[in-house]
Amino acid sequence: MARWHGRFDRKTYDQSIELLRKAINKTKLGIREKNEALNRLNRVRSI
């Protein structure tokens, strides 16, 4: 994550989260595993 004077670059952060979301959806995991991974990602995003 890019930082600038102690603050996160929100645009870069959001782009990184979106990239991870897309990667999770492309995996060969089951629906339950994908949902669990996406839920964990959403918890990180809300911080």
* pLDDT of the residue at 9: 82
3-state SS of the chain is CCEECCEECHHHHHHHHHHHHHHHHHCCCCHHHHHHHHHHHHHHHCC
Q: Measured between alpha carbons, how far apart are the two ends of the chain, in Å?
A: 14
Whether the predicted pLDDT of 13 surpasses 80: yes
* pLDDT of the residue at 44: 84
Q: Which structure tokens are listed for 30? A: 């089951």
Averaged pLDDT for residues 7-17? 85
Distance between CA atoms of residues 45 and 18, nearest Å = 10
Give yes or no for a contact between 16 and 41, defined as CB atoms under 8 angstroms apart. Answer: no
Q: What is the pLDDT of residues 18-44, one digit of tens each?
A: 999 999 999 999 999 999 999 999 998
